[in-house]
Chains A and B, each alone.
Chain A
């Protein structure tokens, strides 16, 4: 699941352009983003609060199993890191 402040329409455009088939969720008021303490205040267009990049792997019991909070804007989790973490899920 990908979560951002983009509207469902913007995310739909993105999925069509990029061919993404996983779910994109819209959090325009940064509610979930705030609950996960990921607010990057005033960094959006028009000074909107947006999310700092972060990835969480959650198991079926609802517990967080793996977290990646990048310290560098340009650097995100590598797919193989996530696949490695996902192997531990049962």
Chain B
């Protein structure tokens, strides 16, 4: 039996679309330039699509067996589903956040709180705003406080 040469563009296209999905949360989200709009991932999906089109044309041209055609169509269908999942996760589900209409706005007084730090010491906002910061030679009063609320479980 003659060994059929692998239809590499189909498999390369499929693997590339898989990595285009996974590289957003694991790689590209680290830099604001590739995070705020996922152009790098969309570019990878574009290259994957070109490879898949090339691979399918190869599968359907000439003397390739039936299973090569099935594999090509299967890989392309799966890649399309992966792309749909990416679009959904990056543009739809990512926006499912509560509107926070009651959050303090610029100019309003920041609500006071009293929370425990990593040493178990209770810290209040008013304390944070008034406790002098020790420098090398002198202490300075804080100019402000930045509060970063995050989801946790890091």
Contact = CB atoms under 8 A, between A and B. Distances in A.
A57 B146 contact: yes
A90 B141 CA distance: 10
Nearest to B141: A60
Interface string A59-90: 11111111101111111001000100010011
26 contacts: A1-B145, A1-B146, A4-B149, A4-B150, A6-B152, A6-B154, A10-B152, A15-B118, A23-B118, A31-B115, A39-B98, A44-B153, A45-B153, A55-B146, A55-B147, A55-B149, A58-B125, A60-B144, A63-B110, A64-B107, A64-B108, A69-B100, A71-B97, A73-B97, A75-B35, A86-B144
Main secondary structure of the interface of A (DSSP, over half): mixed
What size tier do the contact residues of chain A reach?
Answer: 35 or more
Interface in B107-146: 107-111, 113, 115-120, 123, 125-126, 128-130, 141-146
B120 to A, nearest CB: 6
Contact of B111 (A27, A35, A75): A35
Given A39-B98, A64-B108, 20 more contacts: A1-B145, A1-B146, A2-B148, A4-B151, A10-B152, A23-B117, A27-B113, A36-B103, A37-B103, A44-B152, A55-B148, A55-B149, A56-B147, A56-B149, A58-B144, A58-B146, A62-B109, A70-B97, A78-B32, A86-B143
Please give me the 8 A-B residue pairs with the lowest Cβ-Cβ distance, nearest first.
Answer: A37-B102, A4-B152, A32-B113, A25-B115, A51-B149, A12-B118, A73-B94, A89-B143
A36 B111 contact: yes
Q: Which of A4, A23, A64, A78 has the most B CB atoms < 10 Å from its CB? A: A64
A52 B97 contact: yes
What size tier do the contact residues of chain B reach?
Answer: 35 or more
B142 A26 contact: no
A18 to B, nearest CB: 8
B90 A1 contact: no
